[in-house]
Structure 1
Amino acid sequence: MIRHLVLFKLNEGVERDDPRVVEGVEAFRALEGKIPEIRFWELGWNLSDRPIAYDFAINSGFEDVTALRTYVEHPEHQAGVALWKEFATWVIADYAY
């Protein structure tokens, strides 16, 4: 199995209730069930107030690297990425478990 972690940092001045952010969260929330390669899917807002903390996270699982690649290239995923590019930056980590 492959774990795919994504940590998002909202751009300076962007708040969680910004309509673009709300739309972006909903776009990613809706991916579960739309992309068959997803084996495990959870996401949510960070609760930590530490200055190094990111704002939002996605924790997901895939059968193998091919399934992960299919997900990354899927049009629904790419549409969500396009939304988030407008108001956030992010880092990822993919690892076998």
Structure 2
Amino acid sequence: MLFKFKDGVSWSDFRAQEAEAATRQHPQHIPDIVNWQCGRNVADRLVAHDFALIGDFADRDAVARYLVHPDHVRGVELWRAIADWVVVDFEVDLEAAK
């Protein structure tokens, strides 16, 4: 998932800091998260997004539970106010990755 701030929003905005903190804390509140990586963009490029995350889940049912979990819904509300985002849900073939 990639987030790009709306015009006028930057990391100095308290709302951006609140959204980031909520996102970083999801694994503490959502048991279906297997692995969670997120962070701010460090590149100085116009095409870059501002924040990214990768979440791993055991299966599609776990993703479905995550999507409606109250902590995730709160995070969505925080990000919706300050950013646009793109999402890609994909499956990893663990056998092929060996």
| Aligned sequence identity (%) | 40
The CA deviation string for residues 39-76 of structure 1, in whole angstroms up to 9 with x for no partner, is 00011001112211111001110000110111011010
In our comparison, the structure showing a higher alpha carbon Rg is 2
Unaligned stretches of 5+ in structure 1?
1-5
1:23, 1:33 → 2: CA distance?
16
* Bigger fraction of residues in helix: 2
Counterpart residue number, 1:65: 60
Counterpart residue number, 2:80: 85
Structure having greater relative contact order (Cα 8 Å, sep ≥ 6): 1
1:17, 1:39 → 2: CA distance?
31
* Bigger fraction of residues in strand: 1
**Runs of 4+ off more than 6 Å:** none
Pairs aligned (count)? 92
Q: TM-score, normalised by structure 2?
A: 0.90
